[in-house]
A and B are shown apart, each in its own frame.
Chain A
């Protein structure tokens, strides 16, 4: 059966993508962030996952308000790079893994989660930025296949944090029951604290961000039991997307070890984090 090699968490701020495109990684604004991503990239290079199950949200590039899936699973063999308004970024399209996508859809429905099943769908910075931070920018082809899970974190009602955590457990069941010996990593994206709308725009909460990075490893139930309103209050209206990290965490064992944790604020208007977790029971 497939092997779960670990869980990753990562912000997906578009300005990080712009910094990568413009080569600004060593400028004073960006150096403290990019200096801290090396261990995450090294971990991925050493673990060589075959499949990355990436949990993120669309930002008005794939879905309009005419249809808003709460959870959607990519079951395609290819995902093109979205044009978000400034032309597609210079990245190769992602190879998908339709077999795992369909197996995940089957397993989710068998566990009373009913996702939208996606074929042709473009992916935006929500997926691109975390993938590039962990895998680097490939010249021609990504060294890993991607299975995207889209979560609605924009239009109310958004899913409960506890539901995201339980979704992760069903995802784990899909990994453990997937025939073959694929090495699978789960990647939760978004956050950390930020607010882009209203007079409270520019709200960041570095203390809460640092606590989140610790709690997601040692006390995920605490984060899963918070209300959606709690997330908005503590992390900002857009920082509430941190519930997507709970899908990743729910796929791991209760006991994990932290292989890497990095925090920086602000990237544009956002506190940004990178986290690498492994099941504590996994042989080192």
Chain B
């Protein structure tokens, strides 16, 4: 059993890295997007192997959804739609190669030079809870305060960036009953 799970775990690692590399190798936005999704799914299943079930399933859920939404954006914002025809997934090759090589050497040096700590103790029965408490425990108040502030920031940014204001929608005296919108809505507009 131990051997099978080991092979499964490292096999998924290979899939994750290969799919990640494929993102830059393929010549279509759709393939690149879903190669990235495959990479994340492999990582999510690896996290399941580590018994972080919630984190693993959420990783798969969020990443697949994110890639599907990316498919929406790539048609919305990619101008004359290079997204729909074959295109290269790389640019600034020389600079990128230099940065990649330097980063690899830096991280590899770190792995080789740092003394790794010896393991003390054993995993707690519920590793997800332990991880959550280690990450959030003393900072829960900060997290609880930051989330509404972040939502308010997003809403404010969208309101400020919007081309049309409430005066365009409801008239100069704001007395128009149904808003005048270019895009029809589903609940009475």
Bind each other: no
Interface residues of A (CB under 8 A from B): none
Interface residues of B (CB under 8 A from A): none
